[in-house]
Structure 1
């Protein structure tokens, strides 16, 4: 029988491929993806522990305390245990509060903050091992990336936050996998998620941005639980007529879900980690400026930056009013690098930074233009020195770090963020753990 290449068949294949991926045996998960998932767990826990005293954290911790409920899962910064759905919400938002977590540039989304909270909370509720939680996470992350590719750049550019929208589907699959949903129950969980997934970029620079991550994690737990209890949904709430993709994307690419690379290599393996506590779209510029000789950096009077146009509406806040908004300002961050202010230390981003007169004056000499020939992970530009000399700089985040170098960098990040506990946490994750150990990853100790 000849293959069916019709549009309808392509759309149907997306859901079937998604369900195939959701049910993949753990033994078939690529070794490289599994290793990166352990690395992401470490980085996510560091970000969560570091953010547990933030104002956003206090608000959500209080909400969890007021509501109470079934003692199922641990929450950053609190004793006791809380319902899995609440723990996923609070932990997702807290871990994204500092905007210091991993990013996948294929679809521009923060994977760990939307999916690990759902997987870890459901893992505790179900008595899963750490290994099972990691497997559920990496499958969910791969689903989120591929759903994001189907939605396409237009979805993000239109104002949707992929961390929350595509991420919710990954969280639903991860939670459903830990519950043990059947293929048809997983179909219903994804269908229910289609009506729950949400998140807008208008929240960037406010507490609403990390809240988006919590919404994704919570929606994942909720829809998986409802499907396990018998709630039904459309046959294809993701790709069907008036489904999520049809209503939220102007130019969906159905073939992107299962195209290249083949499933034998997970797209998740290209995950990138933040070594600077600001929007990941600024990191290529920061690394490029840091690569300049110190004697050159000291003499810079102006910066002419070229970046992918996608970032102009995200990272080009020209007059930030708070320390949080500075994290989305090319001009301020360039000034920080050139003045020797650490961009990797969360403590640098207090609100006084936004009113720093020297940074404000330097920002007037920073110009940012879009260049569609550059990828999301590239930055190029020129610095102008005090004598008018022009020096080029460039960086590409796609160039991978060796695993040993990445581990060393993340351990330095952990030491700055949570103190001396990073080494012990890394070893704890490498050893694995039983169900009774999962809460300790969140609480520490």
Structure 2
């Protein structure tokens, strides 16, 4: 008996997830779950197209082009064909570029931003059908959301970004399924990608661009790990629960072994895709409730910026490090990305403009003295009634110069699973974002193709259409 043939006495989390992904029958996924998955993909595609209009996307594409050309399509960039992993990297970057992409609230993860580019890229390479692409995407989403939920927000406390960190494991399984790998190979792929998964929250200090890279890098890592496993490379067995597995090593004091069961609870019975929240605002989901609360206060009481003496924003204690600190940067963001992770700026924009959208992230809006003056008056407190992580609750209490104190609470953030955007809302958001880059006829063709993924279009045809080559 050699070191690779020892008898295992218990099934690891990686083995259970591998068995689920390898054995998932697309026909067993409920019709309403597949419909929701198609709408999540449509939302992601619209955001990716909108991202092509910003400087950050042009600079990133220029960097990736230095590694040469290939057969992989880039959403919205028909002339740019990259090697598979670089195309997946770029597509993940575009979907996550405006921080407008969906969030699984319990897992605190933007899973579509990594899962869809991996499924699209590998699906196109292998000649998968649209139906098979969609099934692989659903499988990856079910894994990513559960793994994220194990941490219960703990990754953010230790400085890791779960979208990149967890996304790598889901992408390894997506790539492996589309490549026809066995459950044993899929288990090894998860162990291998443990040494590749990454994602630091240091960008929160100064609004750096690195967070945008995380989902695409997760795709690169996952595809690489799957290829290694397919060719016999051996990975650690206890990728998640082992002594130096994902959760003990990355959560530290926040690791609770009792939560490991969440990783596999309800597989094939409960569908987490249906719990994914679509963002109504282009900013960190943690800011939405307070921004909406400020909009509501402004509308209900006709509040003008010059009337405001002080604002208290109540936020979940778990999100303070992300959207409230460092205070000096949150009150005076250094760039648009900084602003997207700022409670003071989001609340101030809502009071001044009555909204917090892409226009409020333009350079002139970031430098607006009226908005910055209000932001300077916004302080935060931990919300004692927070429902985090089920909901990203928020409350705004404004004190006016005439002595009045007014408040509004958004206990259940708009877009959450129990307060979802409707399919019509998601389509409208897609059309608005896609129109920033494409003519109406092309937008309509993409909408029809994505919402008809189960009806005959291949992954390769979809890839060409999204790039603008068809």
Q: Does 1:193 align with 2:193?
A: yes
Q: Distance in 1 between matches of 2:85 and 2:126?
A: 13
Out of 380, 397, 400, the residue aligned to residue 382 of structure 1 is 397
Q: Does 1:366 align with 2:371?
A: no
Out of 290, 293, 296, the residue aligned to residue 291 of structure 1 is 296
Q: Distance in 1 between matches of 2:33 and 2:93?
A: 25
Which aligned runs of 4 or more in structure 1 are off by greater than 6 angstroms? none
- Give per-residue Cα distances to partners, 1:383-413, cap 9 Å, x unaligned: 2344322222111123323634533552464
SS in structure 2 at match of 1:381: strand
CA contact (8 A) 1:73 1:82 kept: yes
- When the two structures are aligned, how many residues end up with a matched partner? 435
SS in structure 2 at match of 1:110: coil
Q: Specify the alignment match of 2:217 in structure 1.
A: 215
Q: Specify the alignment match of 2:311 in structure 1.
A: 303
CA contact (8 A) 1:15 1:239 kept: no
Higher relative contact order (CA 8 A, sep 6+): 2
Q: Specify the alignment match of 2:263 in structure 1.
A: 257
- Give per-residue Cα distances to partners, 1:171-227, cap 9 Å, x unaligned: 111111111111111011111111110001112422101011221111111111222
Greater mean alpha carbon deviation, residues 78-87 or residues 399-408: 399-408
Indicate how the Cα distance of structure 1 residues 17 and 373 shifts in structure 2: closer, same or farther if over 3 A, else same: farther
Q: Distance in 1 between matches of 2:332 and 2:9?
A: 49
Q: Specify the alignment match of 1:353 in structure 2.
A: 365
CA RMSD of aligned residues (A): 2.4
Q: Distance in 2 between matches of 1:441 and 1:315?
A: 37
Q: Does 1:315 align with 2:323?
A: yes
Q: Specify the alignment match of 2:461 in structure 1.
A: 437
Q: Specify the alignment match of 1:22 in structure 2.
A: 21
SS in structure 2 at match of 1:249: helix
Q: Distance in 2 between matches of 1:33 and 1:9?
A: 35
Indicate how the Cα distance of structure 1 residues 308 and 413 shifts in structure 2: closer, same or farther if over 3 A, else same: farther
Q: Distance in 2 between matches of 1:106 and 1:390?
A: 33
CA contact (8 A) 2:12 2:238 kept: no
Indicate how the Cα distance of structure 1 residues 275 and 413 shifts in structure 2: closer, same or farther if over 3 A, else same: farther
Out of 318, 325, 350, the residue aligned to residue 337 of structure 1 is 350
Indicate how the Cα distance of structure 1 residues 266 and 123 shifts in structure 2: closer, same or farther if over 3 A, else same: same
SS in structure 2 at match of 1:20: helix
CA contact (8 A) 1:197 1:219 kept: yes
TM-score of the aligned structures, taking structure 2 as reference length:
0.86
Superposition pairs of residues 93-108 of structure 1, within 5 angstroms: 93-108=93-108
Q: Distance in 2 between matches of 1:91 and 1:357?
A: 36
Q: Distance in 2 between matches of 1:430 and 1:412?
A: 13
Q: Give unpaired runs (5+ residues) of structure 1.
A: 1-7
Q: Specify the alignment match of 2:4 in structure 1.
A: none
- Give per-residue Cα distances to partners, 1:334-393, cap 9 Å, x unaligned: 12112226422x243123333321112112221211125302311123223443222221
Q: Give unpaired runs (5+ residues) of structure 2.
A: 1-7, 325-329
Q: What displacement does 1:146 show?
A: 1.3
